[in-house]
Amino acid sequence: MVAKYIASLRALAARRVVTLVAAAFVLASVIVILVRLGPPAKLNDLKLPDVKLPDIDMSKLPNIPGFSGSHEPEHYEKCDRNITEPLKLWKAAQQKYDKLMDDKFTIAMQTYKRPKELDETLRVILSEKIASLHEIVIIWNNLEEKPPGNFKSETGVPVRYRVSERNSLNMKLLPDPDFKTQAVLLSDDDVYYKPQDLEFAFQTWRKFGQHRLTGALPRCATPDAEGNWGYGFCSKDSNQDVYSMIITNLCFSHMSFLDYYSSNNTVMQKVRDYVDDHFNCEDIALNYVVSYLTGTGPLLVKGRDKYVNYEPAQGISKKPGHLEARSKCLNDLTKMFGCMPLVNETAHIERGVIVL
């Protein structure tokens, strides 16, 4: 009986010892692992494995459902001002056009198969003397039809039809070597400022807008929660009453920006191909160019009257999915520039006096 009791005590003691030894071993292992994983005592002790990662273009990987890694939105910072080469190119362009008149402007009006709208717009613009209007050039993109002949209006303004080499939105932004003025009013055949307001808009460009796109129709770029840019009409809500683009339906540009847009700079070549592939967004692209080079936003100008826009039943901006396509342009162009160049502007200029 006693012997049996002693034997059971021994067995218990043996199990305790085994348990203690095992616990001590586990604890020691944990300490060793923690010490190894912990921060190195000195930064120099930190040795990263010398592994070369393969170059994988994440955007080219197939989309795996439920796996978000392959279409995570890419984030691009605001563009900085450290852009020596582009600025050199722009400066050369400015010098090139220095000899052109700076107190007159040219209208470059794009048209495509809308003779009624074109005639009406020309009729209004040519109905009154506009002191600083030097010439109207109609960018004729309807290649199937011959344009009417050039003429001179009763107000003395020459009107010249320029047939495009192809039906491309880039044709409107060409720095035509025959232009005689530094200022070009980019416009479409269905939208105009009334004549007196047009002169006012040009004088505003001269005083405040030579380094900005200066015109009538503002647009906005706003990021969503994930950082994707969305294109939209602007809002007057107090926390968002800003704009960052003026579309080229009706806006003044300095020749040097058109020159840069049309240059052989590699980014600009890609941008023009993109505009041709999508038949869209040349106006967004020109806003990117100007703000990229100047670090400044555009300038909205309101005449005494609102600009006139026929809002035709047909036209690019009336197609369904227009805003989505324009948003895609914002994101694709940001990728091409490698940064977001647009700059918000909070003010605009309006003709007339405020009587207090």
Ligand X SMILES: *[C@@H]1O[C@H](CO)[C@@H](O)[C@H](O)[C@H]1NC(C)=O
Using CB under 6 A, list all residues that contact ligand X: 82, 221-223, 240, 242, 244, 263-264, 340, 342, 344
Smallest gap, in angstroms, from Cβ of residue 303 to ligand X? 25
Count CB-CB contacts under 10 A for residue 127. Answer: 13
Q: What values do phi and psi take at 174, rounded to 5?
A: -70, 135
Nearer to ligand X among residue 109 and residue 300 (C-beta): 300
Please identify, using beta-carbon distances, which residue of 82 and 314 lies nearer to ligand X. Answer: 82
Which of 228, 309 has the CB closer to ligand X?
A: 228
Contact 231, 300 (CB under 8 A): no
Count of residues in the chain: 356
Q: Which of 159, 161, 115, 165 is nearest to 143 (CA)?
A: 165
The encoded tokens of residue 186 equal 């980019």
3-class SS letters over 127-176: CCCCCCEEEEEEEECCCCCCCCCCEECCCCCEEEEEECCCCCHHHHHCCC
Q: CB 226 → ligand X: shortest distance, Å?
A: 13
Report, in Å, the least distance between residue 270 CB and ligand X: 14
What stretch of H or E contains 109? Answer: strand 101-111
CB of 93 to ligand X, least distance (A): 9
Q: Which is nearer to ligand X, 83 or 308 (CB)?
A: 83
Task: For the CB of residue 335, give the shortest distance to ligand X in the complex, in Å.
Answer: 15
> Within its chain, how far is the Cα of 30 from the centroid?
55
Of 126 and 173, CB closest to ligand X: 173
